[in-house]
């Protein structure tokens, strides 16, 4: 990604890309950036409401149709739009 870094915020939707929880989607509850961890609640797992903790390197932001986004790197940097 040409040096771009993804910054996470409380409420962001994420997807796990590494480790035992690979493929699970969730919503950020809190960040521990000084230790490199992110706390989140899984989405789509009925009856599961516990917070999980993972290293930031194992998650990416996740977007769905209808989400409003701003481009942070590349040719269209700074532009905004709707994910379709």
Span 37-51, pLDDT tens digits: 999 999 988 888 899
Average pLDDT, integer, range 67-76: 92
Distance CA 56, CA 30 (A): 12
Tokens of 45: 């797992």
pTM: 0.77
Q: How far apart are CA 27 and CA 42, in angstroms?
A: 6
List, in order of start, the domains of the chain with CATH numbers: 13-82 (2.30.30.30)
């Amino acid at each position: 990604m040409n040096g771009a870094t993804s910054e996470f915020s409380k409420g962001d939707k994420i997807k796990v890309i590494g480790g035992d929880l690979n493929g699970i989607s969730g919503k950020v509850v809190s960040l521990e950036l000084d230790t490199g961890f992110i706390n989140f609640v899984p989405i789509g797992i009925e009856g599961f409401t516990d917070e999980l903790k993972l290293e930031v390197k194992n998650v990416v932001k996740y977007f769905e149709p209808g989400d409003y986004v701003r481009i942070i790197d590349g040719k269209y940097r700074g532009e905004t739009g709707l994910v379709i």
